[in-house]
Structure 1
Amino acid sequence: MASRRTRPAPRPPEGTPPPAELARQARAVLADAVRIARWVADGAAPGTTPLAAQALERAAAALELSPDRIRTGWDRARLAGLIELHGDTARAGWRLRAWDRDDTAVLRGWVALFDAWSLIHPASPDIEATAVAEAVEAVPQVLSLLQLSAGPVTVPALLDLLGQRVAELHEERCEVPYGPQPLSDGDRTAPAAHPAELISRLLDWALEGLASVGALTLGAGHATLSPLGNWAVWVKLEQICVAAQSPAGNIEQSASDMLLGCARLTPGPARAEYRAWLAARPVGSAVAELLAVARGEDALLRGLAFEALRVVGAPAEPEVRAVLTEPPLRPYALLWLAEYEGADPDDAQEVLSREEATWLWVDTAAAVADHGETALLVRHLETAVQGTVPALLDEIRAVGHPRTVQVLVALAAAHPDPALAKAVRRAAFQVHTGGA
């Protein structure tokens, strides 16, 4: 494990343009998508998406683009994070707001598009989904060969590599490879697909898809990585190296196991662990997994999930905003959004209503009761926004947190003041029996 932690990150390939030039190229690839996103953000299509028939016609007329270019640009705007959908309503995404001033946001948007090349350019419907999935999984090796070659690579060389990688995937899964297979007991040869033809079609589709997002250029019988494509492959290699440097070795764990592994780390090492875990996953699936953990019963993991989401930053904003409607997650989401929008962490609590603050107090107390020391639970009493213990107990009963009884029982058992402990036990009994 130690050798993995010290693995150096790869250096950008020689001749890689500076970030400002790469961002200029990325803006050019996404020019139509940005125009469409801004048209939507300006309120030109209120209450509907541009793919609705009337909105599509208005967009084509207003932007002087063909309907096909509007559809393509719309898909790219969604995939690059330029527009967000809320039901049937579209609004500006965080990247669109930062588009003109933040080259990093532009490059991240293009990488999101690059990652979605197989959605931008769907495979022919007559190719089986399993074959398409295998080609997508094999494409990183094709891209690595293109980068290592530092120039044009012939289609036969790429075809050979893709075929080898697909065969390896079959072998790793203990599956029967493409092609005729001998049957036992003297039976005739099994019917077969045409592997060369299929692999050739998959390669053509992949190269066309990658070219459509600006990752490579196609010539007569060869392909070459574009500067953007060259840089993107380096970014992916860098992410793998960052993931390999996980200090606590949790990168291959589920979100819940990773968070538990970080529970006793100090903030700095915990953030390093979150970054390594996130670098090994697509950001969308990582955010979804963290929020799924936050919806669970363990209050400690709920709080830690939102700490990990702070490391994700802006790409998590739409998903965090969407959970504001979920009462157990709302206080955490409000604090996350307040800090994301620039509030000092010490002042962020002001965004919570009294009821939300009380709910959060009980949830945090539940985490301490389950995973912490009794002294911490007593100290936690001092953090309540209510000025007195009777007021706190009244409001705790009112918010209806599902762990209220357990928290009060644990607090009563831990508190050194007999009179206060008695009052807390009485409150726990009243909540348990539904009394006043």
Structure 2
Amino acid sequence: MLRGWVALFDAWSLALPTPAGAGPTIVAEVVEAVPQLLSLLHLSAGPVRLPALLDMLDQRVAELRTERCEVPYGQDPAADGAGSTGTASDAAGAPLAGLLGWALDALLAVGALMPPDGAPDGSHEGGHRGPEAQLTPLGNWSVWVKLEQICVAAQSTAGHIEQSAEAMLRGCARLTPGPARAEYRAWLAARSVGAAVEELLTVARGEDALLRGLAFEALRAVGAPAEPAVRTAADEPGLRPYALLWLVEHDGGDPETAPDVLTREESTWLWVDTAAAVADHGETQLLVRHLDSAVQGSVPRLLEEVRAVGHPRTVQVLVALAAAHPDPALAKAVRRAAFQVHTGGA
């Protein structure tokens, strides 16, 4: 239950519509700045006056713009109601104040802030109208969880935190499952959930089958917040088998019951994709042993269905399997199947 509430807390910016006239850039800046405001509220362990929060928001937005060089000093970003100076409050004072109110109202709506009457039940219907803000016990707990995750990220031993998802996954390919999961968690803790999930799925859509599997392993470390994106990914043929197995495990099922989850064609596609990962990154004997995991139960039936499944790596997988298999007759049959796929023959 608490885990589900953290997912709601992470999605606070979707709880209420943004103020009319607020441009997407300044809204994104405020969303990125809010964690620093929450940290102040957490560390203060009591009410914080709104002018202090607005001042911190002003400074943080100015820092973000300086870091990204998006709003040079003296420029007028009219789309966000900016003025003519380099500070955030001077450049967008009214929008920032309104957006602070929006953020506080949204945090109140998800139960992270105390209502003005001090009752931590989230029942206040008029939004945040008090002169100060204070976290609820749940809000304090969730911010503490986030700070702990940042500390975990800072202790990453493999040094993948600042790397792209692809580079991180390539590095984790050399690790055993336990240390790899620790790296996934550290990498995720240093990013917003939405951005991390999208980056992992982008890697999963690439040509490297090993990274595709590892991307979904990392998504298991995300848990519930990744579910909507994974459900959407299940509509993509190249990701569907991985997504369906992820969803089964997420719902408490056993991914070993793949024949009950995937169609025969999906299981065959996954077999080829896994074989491609082994062929590219594994040992030849591992590829030979991979034959035993096929649902078909016989090599002739497997070859027949592999030829029909249309995986883009089918030829390479069959050629590698033929070169690795110690049985000359079986290797010959596999090479023949590879040739037939390559030429489009029957």
Q: Normalising by structure 1, what TM-score?
A: 0.65
CA distance 1:111–1:420, change in 2 (3 Å): same
Match of 1:88 in 2: none
Match of 1:258 in 2: 168
Secondary structure of 1:216 counterpart: coil
* Superposed displacement of residue 256, structure 1: 2.0
CA distance 1:138–1:327, change in 2 (3 Å): closer
* Residue correspondence of structure 1 range 231-380 to structure 2 within 5 A: 231-380=141-290
CA deviation digits over 1:376-433, x for unaligned, max 9?
Answer: 2222223323333223222221222221111111112222233322222122111111
* Residue correspondence of structure 1 range 381-392 to structure 2 within 5 A: 381-392=291-302
* Superposed displacement of residue 367, structure 1: 0.9
Match of 2:107 in 1: 210
Q: Is the 8 A contact 1:247 1:272 kept in 2?
A: no
User: Unmatched 5+ residue regions in structure 2?
Assistant: 77-82, 117-128
* Superposed displacement of residue 210, structure 1: 3.3
CA distance 1:428–1:419, change in 2 (3 Å): same
Find the structure with the greater CA-based Rg: 1
Alpha-carbon distance in 1 for matches of 2:92, 2:205: 48
Q: Is the 8 A contact 2:203 2:212 kept in 1?
A: yes
Alpha-carbon distance in 2 for matches of 1:124, 1:251: 34
Which one of 407, 414, 427 corresponds to residue 317 of structure 2? 407
Secondary structure of 1:401 counterpart: coil
Secondary structure of 1:325 counterpart: coil
Match of 1:72 in 2: none
Alpha-carbon distance in 1 for matches of 2:63, 2:137: 30
Secondary structure of 2:133 counterpart: strand
Secondary structure of 2:234 counterpart: helix
Which one of 96, 111, 134 corresponds to residue 9 of structure 2? 111
Alpha-carbon distance in 1 for matches of 2:206, 2:91: 46
Q: Is the 8 A contact 1:321 1:337 kept in 2?
A: yes
* Residue correspondence of structure 1 range 39-54 to structure 2 within 5 A: none
* Superposed displacement of residue 303, structure 1: 1.6
Q: Is the 8 A contact 1:214 1:229 kept in 2?
A: yes
Q: Is the 8 A contact 1:415 1:421 kept in 2?
A: yes
The size of the alignment, in residue pairs, is 322
CA deviation digits over 1:313-364, x for unaligned, max 9?
Answer: 3333343333333333232233333333444444334433333222222111
CA distance 1:342–1:116, change in 2 (3 Å): closer
- The alignment yields a C-alpha RMSD, in angstroms, of 3.0
CA distance 1:435–1:247, change in 2 (3 Å): same
CA deviation digits over 1:79-114, x for unaligned, max 9?
Answer: xxxxxxxxxxxxxxxxxxxxxxxx3255234413xx
Counterpart code for 2:246: W
Does 2:50 match 1:155? yes
CA distance 1:179–1:212, change in 2 (3 Å): farther
CA distance 1:433–1:130, change in 2 (3 Å): closer
Q: Is the 8 A contact 1:259 1:301 kept in 2?
A: yes
CA deviation digits over 1:295-328, x for unaligned, max 9?
Answer: 2221111222222223333333343333333333
